[in-house]
Amino acid sequence: MIRKPFIAGNWKMWGTRAQALAYCERLLELLPDPNRRRADVGVCAPFTALDVLVERLREREVRVAAQNLHQEENGAFTGEVSAPMLAEVGVDGVVLGHSERRQYNCETDRALQEKVPAALAAGIDPILCVGETEEEREAGETDRRLRHQIREDLERVEDERLADVVIAYEPIWAIGTGLTATPAQAQEAIAFVRALVGDRSEEAAARVRVLYGGSVKPENAAEIIAQPDVDGALVGGASLDPDSFARIIEAVPEP
């Protein structure tokens, strides 16, 4: 791994502006200075909290990400927000293809094919989520699902930009369930995702960050992040409390 691990908190649909302000204050008390951090840190939040987070966190080198965007720059898409709009607010990244959006908002691989390059074109790093259902894992179809998602979702990203995408392997059966992939399961799936990127570009495979997500907590973070191919974590529920999020960041092993 060339870059530091990346620990990103996904607030899901949590975080009024008042909660965001209080969160920033507490997180900044707990985080070491950026040059002493063993991990890069980010917070992925609803649109309405983004400007608060950018103002409070960016100068302390905490990255701020949105949780969705629309692939077009502007137009007749009521209720949507585009990549240039997010860039204007100053966000660094955007979560794309989260399983909750795939499940509840009909997010398709076809749409992701356009959303991922739209983020990159606006200077925003996509955090692309992929992962299998419980049924797929039990049927031995994890690799097939991951291959399909990686091929489809990254199809329109040039090889030179592949390493600018952060990929989060999030087995759906482990999200918000309290079930965590074992470190060995996380390692195996993430090595497979890296190899899929390597089918396009060996250089990108060496540089791309592939995170694990699914019920990461302070108690299990260290062992998962210590796996050779795991470049960090996307943390949902346990990131809503800044103390528990900071403990996960502290759990990142020494390089």
Report the catalytic residues: 98, 170
170 binds ligand PEP (CB under 6 A): yes
Tokens (6 digits) for 191: 């090595």
Closest Cα to residue 252, out of 44, 32, 61, 60? 32
Residue type, 253: P
Strands 62-66 and 40-44: parallel
Question: In angstroms, how far is CA 18 from the centroid of its own chain?
Answer: 24
Contact window for ligand PEP (CB under 6 A) among 16-24, 130-138, 199-207, 212-220: 212-220
Query: Shortest distance, CB of residue 248 to ligand PEP, whole angstroms?
Result: 10
15 binds ligand PEP (CB under 6 A): no
Q: Among 5, 97, 131, 214, which residue interacts with ligand PEP (rule: CB under 6 A)?
A: 214
216 binds ligand PEP (CB under 6 A): yes
What's the length of the chain? 255
Closest Cα to residue 30, out of 247, 252, 255? 247
Residues 6+ apart with CB under 8 A from 255: 4, 38
Query: Shortest distance, CB of residue 119 to ligand PEP, whole angstroms?
Result: 17
Q: How many residues bind ligand PEP (CB under 6 A)?
A: 14
235 binds ligand PEP (CB under 6 A): yes
Closest Cα to residue 120, out of 64, 68, 158, 77? 158
232 binds ligand PEP (CB under 6 A): no
128 pairs with which residues across the strands? 96, 167
Q: Among 5, 15, 171, 237, which residue interacts with ligand PEP (rule: CB under 6 A)?
A: 237
Contact window for ligand PEP (CB under 6 A) among 14-22, 54-62, 154-162, 168-176: 168-176
Q: Using CB under 6 A, list all residues that contact ligand PEP.
A: 10, 12, 170, 175-176, 213-216, 234-238
